[in-house]
Every structure is written in C-alpha cells, then in structure tokens.
Amino acid sequence: MGIARRNLSWTQPGMLLLMVGLCMPVCVEVPSGTEAVQGRNMTLACISCMKREEVYAITTVKWFYKPPFGGDESLIYEYSAGQPKEQKSSMEGRLVWNGSRDLQDVSITIINVTMNDSGIYTCNVTRILHFEAHNHLVENEIRISLTVTKEASDDFTSVLSEIMMYILLAFLTLWLLVEIVYCYRKISKAEDVTQESVSDYLAIASENKENCSVPVEE
C-alpha cells in the first residue's frame, strides 16, 4: 500500500510537467513580407526561435539598412540590455519595437512608409547562453529585401479567390432560382389536383342527391 502511494505521488507531478510542456507555445519562424505600400505601416518580421534547453540568455538585436542601389549598410535600430533604441537614420521617429517578451520575436514596424524605405534590411540576433559550465554564443541573421509601391498590387491568389467567390455566388443564385421555379410548379400542380378533386366531389354529391329523391305517398 505504501509503495502504491509513493508511486502515485511521483506520477502526478510527472504528468503535470508533461502537460505543461505540451501546452507551452511553439515558436515558428515565418518569413517577413517583402512588399510595402507608401503611406501605410509595415512590420518587418524577424523570429529567432530558442530551444527548450536555452533557459537563460542575454539577447542583443540589431537592425541594419542598406539602400537598394548601392551604399553602405547602417545601423537603424538596436535592442540591448532590455532597452529598444532607435539610431540616427532617415527612419528615425518612424521605427517601433514589435518584439515579444521572450525575445523570440524581435520584429520592428516602420510607420508611414515612404518610397525611400525600399532596400535590404538585416536582422542580427546575438544570444549569450548561460549554462552551468560555460557560456555559449549564438548568432543568427535574417535578410529582408523590401520594395515600396505607391499602390497595393493584387496578389494572384487573392484575385483567384475573388473570382471563385463570384462563381460560387452565381451558381448558388441559379440553383435558388431553379428551386423556386420547381417548388412553384409543384404547388400549382397540387392546387390543380385539389380543385379537380373538389369539383369531382361536388359533382358526385349533386348526382347522389338527385338519385336519392323521397317517394311521395298517394
């Protein structure tokens, strides 16, 4: 009995830890958009996932910008020691930190995009992982080639989806009209049959009434 209780006491925390592990959010590295529209906001997505064993780390994030037609790469944004900070550039005052608390998502947003914002953006993520025996340096870079347009271009997938939607609506409308015509004809036939039945019934009743005359006693 004591052994069973001891096994149960170890099993419950183990199951709890397993459930917590399964319920932890999963980090998924998704590519950033590469087309922005003038006058709108654009988020440059940079997601650098950490492994489960990477429990504690010091993270430094640097965003660089390089013009599309040559020119030097310059630092435009930096996140260090828990503080995001804009650097002096043509985008100063229009960059907003959009990263997550766990620093796996270290994205930034450009406010009121201009045509001059086209170019190559580099997201540099440096982590110093603190293990019991040693520290380990991990560095990751993500490059985004951004193109700014005056108007949003129609994506082929969205255009195709819109065409399919209109085709589906036309089909449903045609099917509804066919159903209405079919039901109307069915109701009309039912009314005709009912009227014929009533007429036949009245004719038979009238005939029976004439045949059932009462004899007169002399």
Q: Are residues 39 and 117 in the same domain?
A: yes
Tens digit of each residue's pLDDT (9 = 90 or more) over 109-167: 999 999 999 999 999 999 988 877 888 888 999 999 999 998 876 555 666 777 888 89
What is the total count of domains within the chain? 2
Q: Are residues 166 and 147 in the same domain?
A: no
Residue 192 DSSP SS3:
helix
Q: Are residues 92 and 160 in the same domain?
A: no
pLDDT tops 60 at residue 2: no
Q: What is the pLDDT of residue 117?
A: 95
Q: What is the pLDDT of residue 215?
A: 55
- Residue 8 counted as domain residue: no
Asked if residues 148 and 68 have their Cβ atoms less than 8 Å apart, the reply is: no
pLDDT tops 80 at residue 212: no
Which one of 152, 172, 192 terminates a domain?
152
Phi (first) and psi of residue 121, to 5 degrees: -110, 135
> What CATH number did the domain enclosing 67 receive?
2.60.40.10
pLDDT tops 90 at residue 78: yes
pLDDT confidence band for 12 (50 / 70 / 90)? very low
State which residues form the domain around 66: 27-152
pTM beyond cutoff 0.95: no
Distance of alpha carbon 48 from alpha carbon 139, whole angstroms: 10
Q: Are residues 113 and 162 in the same domain?
A: no
Tokens 């089909």 — which residue?
171
Q: Are residues 37 and 136 in the same domain?
A: yes
Tens digit of each residue's pLDDT (9 = 90 or more) over 177-197: 888 988 888 888 777 777 777
Task: Kindly state the percentage of the chain with pLDDT values over 70.
Answer: 71
Q: Are residues 185 and 87 in the same domain?
A: no
- Residue 1 counted as domain residue: no
- Residue 100 counted as domain residue: yes
Q: Are residues 84 and 138 in the same domain?
A: yes
Q: Are residues 143 and 158 in the same domain?
A: no
For the chain, the straight-line distance linking the first and the last C-alpha, in angstroms and rounded, comes to: 114
